[in-house]
Structure 1
């Protein structure tokens, strides 16, 4: 929804994009860090309350947008110099926008990180992830439609679209912009809280295998929370929020998210069709490599080649090749395993479509985003090669201690949820 950035101040000596200091963001991150360190249960209750309030504000904004908006704004620009139509920037504009808003779908993996604190994770985790994706997608579409009806696209303020739309109207509607500001604040709180909860548990899990120092896997005996991981990530996040421009973070998060989703889609196919020691992995690996290369060629031609019949012919050929390879793999390679309770349906079609879309959206991002992503990826690989691989190898030789460390968090969480009348099985 967008909020004002007036509380930041600029330091001229720092590089552009890293010269706006935001102490409010630092304070907010540190306060939420204390909350998630205190208790998972209280953090969850706080998140539910804030989420409920946020949804109420979203519904209010959607209703106000459709009520005050005009249908002609969906297809007409206010300035004659801008193109009219429902897709003024064409298909490329749609995909460029999709690549930027992809970060809106990064919070759902946080549901799976809470598996140790769910009564029936086999059933509840898929329902939670699927339900949240569907609900949020519907809300996003309704908000985008209401925003497009409020103002022509060339008049939308990218910094604060909804509040700016009502603030620029008649005096009788300016109060709505204040309500939107409150709703945006709740959205920031819920997003931060969920992200910080999930990231701390990621750090805790990889700390158990010593990919990062085992200190991060420490669970507080009284609060049953990964205090060390939460505190470290809170301080690290606050440091980044202090001076880094939001657009830089958005691009970096988008490219990281797209790459992770691409890898997950590949992993889903590999796990479903390959069983170590019983099936040959090369047919599956060959399919994944061929399909990815075809998707990369399609993306490169789409973004770089000039318009014309040759471009259309090559794009059509890539599509035929990709579909043919997918169909051939589907009929010639049997599935090695099928999930007992819940799994991705329509294999391998849905993960393959995900592979293509992720590659295509990756091609919509700018070059500086790739440079930053390459730097942090190289840094992560360097840490893994010089430290993590050796520490995790040593952990394998100490299986008993690793097993005890792995069960510590689940046991302490289960103990914290037990009461006199009711016990929760984790």
Structure 2
């Protein structure tokens, strides 16, 4: 009896573990995946969507707040560090955008590489990112206008509702931000193409204003504002720069909406990498130059965080520039809000389409080809958050989910690069019997299908010395294990890095602890590098894998380590709600429970065994062979 009970419990446990780790099976020929959404966005539309999302509240509100309270003129370094971390993550997103041209962004990427549970974790955090992103931009939009009107809106609200004294909530309800969310969501509901045209027009105005700000700011700026008499370039020290970088990261999160638009792009495999690369380059340069211009115009201690740029130019007597900046700020924050409200329902749609959250979020309106009901619910929640919560707390809360998503995407790029894939080829032309030892068993005119198995995940010949260590793993498994250990080592290092200068002589254990973490990280990268990559079918590839994705993981973990402790507590509470949704609904309604889905097919036990470590087989002709792998990816032909 105990034995039977043990078997039952073991069966249940194994079943749960299988469900948590099951992945989507995607064809290498995935560009023809059908979608109920409308594919109408060009590369230009998607690029400006990303630029507009990133160059909004970050320029006009966040820049002043970070410069005054966290980093001083060192905000330039903060934006450089945040930009590097974001660019590394953006490259990983771009590669995945060519692999998986679907809505859902990092959520879908994690689903095909790591597993369902982690995909839900990332998707749940992306929902938080865009929900709070929309609320924070609406709140910034309202605060900016209120500041220009010398507080008339807030004074009226206070007289009507009074003040709240709870720290996490705003001191008064923000009715204007609530209304702004509703209005802009209504614009998006008119259609993807029309809203993209509006976004492009407003982004063009915003960029023109920013160029004017940079040119005039440098012309009238004074390097004396960076001198020691005015507080110096780094008045808050290195810790201030790092804290500023963690907050400035908020300014770059908009590139996520480029990947989210993959299901509505005309040519996603081309548009997403191009749009991501160009948008990140433009935005990084803009943030660095505007930060320099602002801190050169006025000493950091004199900056008005609510209207930094207009007040800086007004203090210099350039009132005409002040009014132009107001126009740019309204346009910029409008496009930033449109970007968040655009991305949020599409992420919910992707999760609902897979059955992990409530099904009504996947309902598509036949006329507009948009998830209208989804948009209504998500907009109302964002509007309510904007109504009652404080902007600064929203920005902090948003950063942690974004950084976690970027970390997992970077890890997923490494994992998929070293995962073998299997493609079945139809023998429509003569097989060269000399090309492979296995081919000699086939008739030269046979119509028998053959399979090409890419050797991604196997040890390279010059690393056979590691075979006793990783030789018993299935192809790709050793790399996945090394990535997990690498992330843990990064967390150990980043949580203790600041203690090193003070404890190198006083606390030998800390030095050993940090040294152990660094050595572990290096060994993990060596183990990953020792395996063959699989780049079959990739039209865009992250360069220097695994080094750049590994650096991206380290940067993201370091920025997370600099976030406020209370931010982590709020994050844990948010994830607790998510786990209730997943284990109460998602794990039972997942489409991977069904026999067929958009991403999975029925497999025989033999087929499942063949593909449990790779992507699903798809039929191709032998003439397609040369286009599916690089020179460094060797195919092995085996009979089916």
- TM-score (norm. length: structure 2): 0.58
The answer to whether structure 1 residue 216 and structure 2 residue 414 are counterparts is: no
Give the corresponding residue for 2:378: 233
Q: How far 1:135 sits from its partner (Å)?
A: 0.8
Q: How far 1:334 sits from its partner (Å)?
A: 1.9
Matching of residues 343-422 of structure 1 within 5 Å: 343-393=541-591, 396-397=594-595, 399=597
Matching of residues 29-40 of structure 1 within 5 Å: 29-40=181-192
Give the corresponding residue for 2:133: none
Asked if 2 retains the 8 angstrom alpha-carbon contact of 1:38 and 1:225, the reply is no
Structure 1: distance between partners of 2:503 and 2:420: 46
Give the corresponding residue for 1:301: 496
Deviations 1:360-389 (A, max 9, x none): 111111111111111111111110110111
Give the corresponding residue for 2:264: 117
Structure 2: distance between partners of 1:70 and 1:138: 20
SS in 2 for 1:307: helix
Structure 2: distance between partners of 1:401 and 1:394: 9
Query: Relative to structure 1, is the Cα distance of residues 47 and 335 closer, same or farther in structure 2, using a 3 angstrom cutoff?
Result: same
Structure 2: distance between partners of 1:155 and 1:28: 30
Give the corresponding residue for 1:192: 337
Query: Relative to structure 1, is the Cα distance of residues 151 and 313 closer, same or farther in structure 2, using a 3 angstrom cutoff?
Result: farther
Between 214-223 and 345-354, report the one with greater CA deviation: 214-223
The answer to whether structure 1 residue 207 and structure 2 residue 359 are counterparts is: no
Give the corresponding residue for 1:105: 252
Asked if 1 retains the 8 angstrom alpha-carbon contact of 2:202 and 2:331, the reply is yes
Asked if 1 retains the 8 angstrom alpha-carbon contact of 2:500 and 2:511, the reply is no
SS in 1 for 2:254: coil
Q: How far 1:338 sits from its partner (Å)?
A: 4.3
Matching of residues 2-151 of structure 1 within 5 Å: 2=61, 3=144, 4-5=146-147, 6=151, 7-8=153-154, 9-10=157-158, 11-13=162-164, 15-18=166-169, 19-78=171-230, 82=231, 84=232, 86-151=233-298
Asked if 1 retains the 8 angstrom alpha-carbon contact of 2:525 and 2:546, the reply is no
Q: How far 1:151 sits from its partner (Å)?
A: 1.6
Deviations 1:87-140 (A, max 9, x none): 333332221111001111111121122222222111111101111011110111
- TM-score (norm. length: structure 1): 0.86
Structure 1: distance between partners of 2:335 and 2:176: 16
Gap runs ≥5 in structure 1: 404-426
Instruction: Tell me how many residue pairs correspond in the alignment.
Output: 396
Larger radius of gyration: 2
Q: How far 1:326 sits from its partner (Å)?
A: 4.6
Structure 2: distance between partners of 1:137 and 1:401: 36
Asked if 2 retains the 8 angstrom alpha-carbon contact of 1:395 and 1:402, the reply is no
Structure 1: distance between partners of 2:598 and 2:398: 37
Asked if 2 retains the 8 angstrom alpha-carbon contact of 1:252 and 1:369, the reply is yes
SS in 2 for 1:165: helix
Structure 2: distance between partners of 1:392 and 1:40: 28
**Runs (4+) of structure 1 moved beyond 6 Å?**
400-403
After superposition, the CA RMSD in angstroms is 2.6
Structure 2: distance between partners of 1:296 and 1:281: 23
Structure 1: distance between partners of 2:484 and 2:592: 33
Structure 2: distance between partners of 1:205 and 1:130: 24
Structure 2: distance between partners of 1:259 and 1:203: 18
Deviations 1:204-262 (A, max 9, x none): 22221222222111221111211111111111111111111100110011111111111
Structure 2: distance between partners of 1:338 and 1:58: 42
Give the corresponding residue for 2:419: 274
Asked if 2 retains the 8 angstrom alpha-carbon contact of 1:274 and 1:281, the reply is yes
SS in 1 for 2:234: coil
Structure 1: distance between partners of 2:283 and 2:476: 37
Structure 2: distance between partners of 1:260 and 1:20: 32
Q: How far 1:183 sits from its partner (Å)?
A: 1.4
Give the corresponding residue for 1:255: 400
Structure 1: distance between partners of 2:346 and 2:375: 8
